[in-house]
Amino acid sequence: MKKYKIAVIPGDGVGPEVIAEGVKILDRTAALDGGFSFEFTHFPWGCEYYVKHGRMMDADGIERLSQFDAIYLGAVGYPGVPDHISLWDLLLVIRKRFDQYINLRPVVLLEGAPCPLNGVRREEINMTFVRENCEGEYAGSGSWLYKNTPREIVIQDGVFSRHGCERVMRYAFDLAAREGKSLTSVSKGNALNYSMVFWDQIFREISAEYPKVETHSCLVDAASMFMVKDPKRFEIVVASNLFGDILTDLGAAIAGGMGLAAGANLNPERKYPSMFEPVHGSAPDIAGKGLSNPMASIWAASQLLDFFGHADWGKHVLKSIENTLVKRQALTPDLGGRATTAQTGEAILKGLVNTSPRIYCSDN
**Which of ligand IPM, Mn ion, ligand NAD, none is residue 258 near (CB under 5 to 8 Å by kind)?**
ligand NAD
Task: Write each residue from 9 to 48 as x if it is in contact with ligand NAD (CB under 6 A), else as -, in one continuous string.
Answer: -----x---x------------------------------
Q: Tell me: does residue 279 bind ligand IPM (CB under 6 A).
A: yes
Q: Does residue number 331 form part of the binding site for ligand NAD (CB under 6 A)?
A: no
Q: How far is the CB of 67 from ligand IPM (least distance, A)?
A: 24
Residue type, 34: G
Q: Is 245 in the site for ligand IPM (CB under 6 A)?
A: yes
Q: Confirm or reject binding of residue 188 to ligand NAD (CB under 6 A).
A: no
Among 292, 303, 324, 344, binds ligand NAD (CB under 6 A): 292
Query: Are 361 and 315 in contact, with CB atoms under 8 Å apart?
Result: yes
Distance between CA 18 and CA 74 in Å, rounded? Answer: 7
Q: Which of 248, 293, 302, 324 binds ligand NAD (CB under 6 A)?
A: 293
CA 358 to chain centre: 27
Shortest approach of ligand NAD to residue 347 CB, angstroms? 15
Distance, in Å, from the CA atom of 120 to the CA atom of 353, rounded to the nearest integer, reads 33
Instruction: State which residue, 18 or 348, has the beta carbon closest to Mn ion.
Output: 18
Number of C-alpha atoms within 13 angstroms, CB side, residue 75?
27
285 touching ligand NAD, by CB under 6 A: yes
* 14 versus 125: smaller Cβ distance to ligand NAD: 14
Binding mask 83-102 for ligand NAD (x = CB under 6 A): x---x---x-----------
Going along the chain, which residue ranges are E strands? Answer: 2-11, 36-42, 70-75, 102-108, 126-132, 136-145, 153-159, 183-187, 215-219, 236-239, 262-266, 274-278
Interface map 233-272 toward Mn ion (x if CB under 5 A): ------------x---------------------------
Residue spans of beta strands (DSSP E) within 76-135: 102-108, 126-132
Burial 331-342 (b: 16+ CB within 10 A, else e): bbebbebebbbb
Q: In whole angstroms, give the CA distance from residue 285 to residue 151.
A: 37
- Kindly state the number of chain residues that form the binding site for ligand IPM, as judged by CB under 6 A: 7
Picking from 146, 150, 209, 158, the residue whose alpha carbon sits closest to that of residue 187 is 158
d(CA 200, CA 82): 35
Return left, alpha or beta for 57; rule: phi > 0 is left, psi -120 to 50 is alpha, else beta. Answer: beta
Task: At 57, give phi and psi (nearest 5°).
Answer: -145, 170
Of residues 197 and 242, the one with the C-beta less far from ligand IPM: 242
User: What are the phi and psi torsion angles at 105 (to 5°)?
Assistant: -125, 105
What's the Cα-to-Cα distance from 174 to each of 74, 199, 306, rounded to whole Å? 29, 18, 17
**Min separation Cβ 109 and ligand NAD, Å:** 17
Of the pair 77, 273, the CB lying nearest ligand IPM is at 77
* 87 binding ligand IPM? (CB under 6 A): yes
Please answer whether residues 183 and 238 qualify as being in contact, where contact means their C-beta atoms are separated by less than 8 angstroms: yes
- Nearer to ligand NAD by C-beta: 200 or 277? 277
The 243-282 site mask, x for binding ligand NAD (CB under 6 A), equals ---------------xx-----------------x--xxx
Stretch that binds ligand NAD, among 33-41, 125-133, 292-300, 354-362 (CB under 6 A): 292-300
Closer Cβ to ligand NAD, 215 or 267, answer by number: 267
- List residues near ligand IPM by CB under 6 A: 77, 87, 91-92, 245, 279, 281
- List residues near ligand NAD by CB under 6 A: 14, 18, 75-78, 83, 87, 91, 258-259, 277, 280-286, 292-293, 296, 334
- List residues near Mn ion by CB under 5 A: 245
